[in-house]
Amino acid sequence: MSERTTDSSRSSAADEGRTSRLTEAFVTHRNLLFTIAYEMLGSAADAEDVLQETWLRWVGVDPDTVREPRAYLVRITTRQALNHLRTLGRRKESYVGPWLPEPLLTAPDVAEDVELAESVSTAMLLVLETLTPTERAVFVLREVFDVEYDEIADAVDKTPVAVRQIAHRARAHVAARRPRESVSAGQARRALEAFKLAVETGDLRGLLDQLAPNVVAMGDGGGIKQAVLRPVVGAEKVARLFIGGMRKFGAQMSAELVQVNGGPALLTRLDGQIDGILSVRVEDGLVTAFYYVRNPEKLSRIQRETAMSR
């Protein structure tokens, strides 16, 4: 065997070893990276794009120069998610009707991690929508994933002092808008079951008993499926909206309890075909918000579980 052939073989083996190390690290942290991207974007499709871009950048790195693969990957993912967040913001400006986060069918272990379940809930993701892109990145990384300020600073291109100030501002902003109390999955499930029974039986009084006086109903059809174009506010109006819909489609519609975004939700079917996902926000034992996603482009993740982790 010639010296040139030997050198080529060694180089090829080295490349394979390098790629193997990079692949192993990426696979190890993939669920974490997806969860970060999803919490920053509220869109699984965009989160997957972010992961693809993260991989393309990661595969070009020399693993010998990376001390902490997790921190390095989180930094790449955050930067790519910030780029997508700004693009997504422009898309939302022309979106037909209310924009709601893409629902994800999740495994029981997500619900068991109370902090993770709350952070990916529709209610919390909508609260995060009110933050600036940088505030959202800092809040998610610090409050959900406990990333150190120095690492966050590298990811968002700010000084550690500035990141601390942003984190303080974001925490105060979120605290003023998040649910006042943590509701157990059991409480939310009971509220959904009672709601389902009242709607199916046309029990207006029973339904009103489940609703907070200022309850809000939001629908997301994306201009593809019919949905309320503006939030419906008030117990009486919301109750009549759902009972009216049941009277119109009752014979063709069915609903089952599923685990979505770390909490219970109703998967609805019309003539046996998936129609949408209905999730709720519960406070003080009453439903304060309904979120109904009917946009078919956002329903591709509700027939198989999506792995998430911290």
Residues 68/74/76/79 CA torsion (nearest 10 deg): -140
What value does the mean pLDDT take over residues 201-217? 91
Give phi and psi for 83, each to the nearest 5.
Answer: -60, -45
Residue 229, pLDDT score? 92
Domains in the chain, please, with CATH? 1-94 (1.10.1740), 185-298 (3.10.450.50)
Distance from C-alpha of 263 to C-alpha of 258, rounded to nearest angstrom: 8
Evaluate whether 139 touches 171 at the Cβ level (below 8 Å).
Answer: yes
The HSE-up count of residue 37 (CA atoms within 13 Å, CB side) is 29
Reported pTM: 0.92
Q: What is the pLDDT of residues 150-182, one digit of tens each?
A: 999 999 999 999 999 999 999 999 999 987 766
- CA 78 to mean position of chain CA atoms: 15
Q: What is the pLDDT of residues 71-124, one digit of tens each?
A: 999 999 999 999 999 888 888 999 999 999 999 999 989 999 999 999 999 999
Stretch among 120-124, 191-195, 202-206, 244-248 having the lowest mean pLDDT: 244-248
Distance from C-alpha of 163 to C-alpha of 150, rounded to nearest angstrom: 8
Evaluate whether 264 touches 257 at the Cβ level (below 8 Å).
Answer: yes
What value does the mean pLDDT take over residues 271-297? 93
Residue 188, pLDDT score? 87
Evaluate whether 79 touches 155 at the Cβ level (below 8 Å).
Answer: yes
Distance from C-alpha of 90 to C-alpha of 113, rounded to nearest angstrom: 33
Residue 187, pLDDT score? 84
Query: Residue 132 is encoded by which pair of tokens?
Result: 């600036």
